Amino acid sequence: TNEAGCDSVATLNLTILEPTTSSTDVTVCDSYEWNGETYSTSGLYTFETTNEAGCDSTATLDLTINTFDATEFTVAECVSYEWDGEVYTVSGDYEKSYVNQAGCDSIATMHLTILQPTTSSTDVAACVSYEWNGMVYTESDVYTFNATNEAGCDSVATLNLTILEPTTSSTD
């Protein structure tokens, strides 16, 4: 009733405004920018603000950061080394970029030492026979001996051997 005692009707046009929530799952490499912040660690992050209706709005970010891989290894090989389809013949440090299992760019560094084989050649003239590397030779020829040098590489020694025959004489 109103002040005069008569029926009175009041009408309420009610609009209920709702808060909003959102959730986003993101997987990236290294870092991710979200709402003006840069994140470099996996985790659950929230951002509080006001929606268009003027109510609370909460956004949730479920972030997975996959990381960059940096690997190093050392190799010592004789003459050459093949890595990922390339042949290397010079000692040095070499890098290759690749995508790791997590889908992120990564770098592998190889520290390479190229070891060299050795060769030698010796000219010898001997009477009747000559002993070389445990063998006795009685004929002139070129002989080779294969071994491994201190670096673990092939070593080839060559012997150019001339066998001289003794002479005899008899005088009456």
pLDDT reported for residue 69: 86
CA dist., res. 61 & res. 26, Å (int): 7
Q: Which of 117, 118, 110 is nearest to 87 (CA)?
A: 110
pLDDT reported for residue 53: 84
CA dist., res. 7 & res. 168, Å (int): 159
Pairing of strands 56-66, 43-50: antiparallel
Whether the CB-CB separation of 73 and 108 falls below 8 Å is answered with yes
Average pLDDT per consecutive 10 residues, the chain (172 residues; last block may be shorter): 87 88 93 94 94 90 91 96 96 94 91 96 95 95 95 95 92 87
In this prediction the pTM is: 0.59
